[in-house]
Structures are given as structure tokens and as C-alpha cells.
Amino acid sequence: MFRMIQLESLIPETLPGVPLFIGHGEKQVLYKDATLPFTNYDKSRLLDNNVKFLFVRTGDMAHYNQYVESNLPALLSDEQLQPHERQQLLYQASVNYVHEVFDRPAVAVKESFSRCRKLIENILNDIMDSNGVMTALGGLVDHSSYTYVHSVHVATYSISLHMKMFSLGRDELLDVGIGSLFHDYGKVYIPKALLDKPGKLTEAEYEELKQHPVYGYDALKDLEIFSPVSLGIVKHHHEKENGKGYPDGLSGRDIARSSKITALADVFSALTTNRAYREALPREAALEIMVGEMDGSFDPQYLEVLKDLH
């Protein structure tokens, strides 16, 4: 098994000793073994040949992730890197983290919670320093790891919207980011065949899927490390302004602002990200659906702010 790594996020001459593979049809073939450096020439040649991703074996990902995260502060402050390279490195590291913890028992979340907080801090710093988040996130799209990419999208959009709408302290923004990053954690407890089903769900299947906010809330609450703000996001990111959401059917002022904003970010990301069964919608088309077909789902004031997010 292999994990896909965005080529733009690989910083030449710094990688740890892990083999790198390149896609060849449906297979992965060895590009560089662990003893050979990954150079600027390698990266430029691959980009010139329209290669966008390399692959790392699943068994090597823990070593790769540990290296990236431990060196992230230094890499992000490297003035020789272009801003988009720093952003791609940061967001790819965040996707890798989500992939790792979602694929392991809940105890893994508790063991690596400090890593999560550091990654959200770096995303927060990037949003504060950046002119926009849309371009940075665009290169992460890959339908084979949609859940993990989507989680990073939602966290980034949610933090950005909170910063535009409210004057919040850093701790609350971190709570928002952590809750948004884990908003779909409950899907770990939903059968994969159900999550990947391409056609319309039966009523029973849909009712099971609707339990994922409760499953996620219960599992993360028991760890006793998530704040009430973060847990509220996990449980209520599918509530709707008109009361027709789930799991509790909350409406209007009964829905916390952090859950309302994450709900916006969740749907916007889902509509504008490539999926296995459909292409991403343009930003304008996604907003038209959210304003028109989904009328009553969102707080109109918050939706107006999303329209101006770049």
C-alpha cells in the first residue's frame, strides 16, 4: 500500500531516508531508494514532465510524517522557499496527520494531540500572513484521499471565516481549527462500503450515515482532551438554520456560531473538491447552490461572508 504525496510539498535535499515511488499506470515503481537524495534537479524534471505526485509506502509514512512535522517550523521560515511551496508543505503535512490518526484507534488521537495543535497553529499563522487560502488548498485535491483533504479544507476555511467575522482570542481559534479538522471523525465508525457507495443511499443507509456526528462526538469526548467548542463542532456541523439538520434538529440561535461556520465550510469544500464520482464545481456555482437550492440551511449573514472569502 502507498500514500500519495504532492510533489510541490517535497523540499529537495531535506527528505529523510525513505524510498520514493512514481505512478506508472495503476502501479507504483521505485523512483529513488532510501540511500539516494531527492534533488532540485529531480523535482524540476518531474514537474516539467507534469508529474504532480510521488508515493511513499504506508509503512514508511510514520517516519516521513515525524520528519516533516519536527522540521516544519524551520522549513516554513526558510526564505529560499516560495510562499506557495511553504503553504503546500504545511497543508500536505496536515493531510498526512489526519490520514494517520483517522486510520488508527481513537487512542492515537490522544497520543498525537500536541501534533494536531501545532499543525493548526501553523495553519492559523499562514492564514494571518497570507492573502488567501483558496490557491494554497487547490493543489491538495485527490479523490483517493478525499476525507483527509476535506478535513484540512474545512479547518482552514472555518478559521478564515471566524477571523473575518469575529475578534477571537488565539486559543478559541485553535479550538475552532481542531474541531473543524475532526468534524468528520465519526465516519471512522461508518462502514467503508457505505461511505464509498456511488449511488443513492437507501433510507436505512442514510440514517446510519447521519449518526457520524454522534459517533465522533462520543469517541472524542471520552478522550477528555477536546474543548467544548471543538466537541460542539463535531456534533453539530450538520445542523441547519431552519431546523431540518441532524442529529438534534437545532435551529437559529440554538446552533453555536462555530458549528454554523463549520457547516458552511463543510458544504463549500464538498462542492468545490473533486470526488471519485464527480468533478469539483467552480466557486460561483457552489455558492449559487448554497444560496438557492440549499436556502434555509445556513445563516444568511455568515453566507455573505463566505462569498467574500479568497
Confirm whether 187 is a catalytic residue: yes
Cα 21 to chain centroid distance, Å, stands at: 24
Q: Which pLDDT score, from 0 to 100, does residue 138 have? A: 55
**204 SS3 class:** helix
User: What are the grid coordinates assigned to 204, written together?
Assistant: 436505512
User: What are the grid coordinates assigned to 137, written together?
Assistant: 488548498
Check: CB of residue 302 under 8 Å from CB of residue 239: no
HSE of 262 in the Cβ direction (CA atoms, 13 Å)?
32
Summarised one tens digit per residue, pLDDT across range 181-221 is: 999 999 999 998 898 887 889 999 999 999 999 999 999 99
Low-confidence ranges of the chain (pLDDT < 70): 131-144, 276
Q: What is the CA radius of gyration of the chain?
A: 19
**166 SS3 class:** coil
Check: CB of residue 284 under 8 Å from CB of residue 227: no
Check: CB of residue 267 under 8 Å from CB of residue 290: yes
Q: Output the CA–CA distances (angstroms, integers) from residue 164 to 64, 83, 118, 241, in the order listed.
A: 35, 22, 22, 20
User: What are the grid coordinates assigned to 54, written together?
Assistant: 510521488
Q: What b-and-e string marks burial along 235-250, b requiring 16 or more CB atoms within 10 Å of the CB?
A: bbbbbbbeeebbbeeb
Cα 248 to chain centroid distance, Å, stands at: 25
As a whole number of angstroms, the longest Cα–Cα distance in the chain is 59
Amino acid at site 84? H
The residue from 52, 110, 187, 235 that is catalytic is: 187
- Global pTM reads 0.85
Q: Output the CA–CA distances (angstroms, integers) from residue 49 to 44, 84, 274, in the order listed.
A: 9, 20, 23
Q: Which pLDDT score, from 0 to 100, does residue 246 have? A: 97
Q: Which pLDDT score, from 0 to 100, does residue 131 have? A: 63
Q: Which pLDDT score, from 0 to 100, does residue 126 have? A: 86
The domains found in the chain, sorted by start residue, are: 1-59 (no CATH), 133-307 (1.10.3210.10)
Q: Which pLDDT score, from 0 to 100, does residue 143 have? A: 44
Residues contacting residue 233 through CB under 8 Å, at least 6 positions apart = 158, 176, 179, 180, 183, 256, 258, 259, 262
Residue with grid cell 467575522, as numbered in its chain: 165
Q: Which pLDDT score, from 0 to 100, does residue 196 have? A: 82
Summarised one tens digit per residue, pLDDT across range 132-191 is: 565 556 555 554 578 888 999 999 999 999 999 999 999 999 999 999 999 999 999 999
Check: CB of residue 61 under 8 Å from CB of residue 5: no
Check: CB of residue 95 under 8 Å from CB of residue 210: no
Amino acid at site 167? S
Q: In what order do the strands lie in the sheet with 20-24?
A: 2-6, 53-57, 20-24, 27-32
Burial of 51 (0-12, 13-18, 19+ CB in 10 A): middle
Strand partners for 6: 53
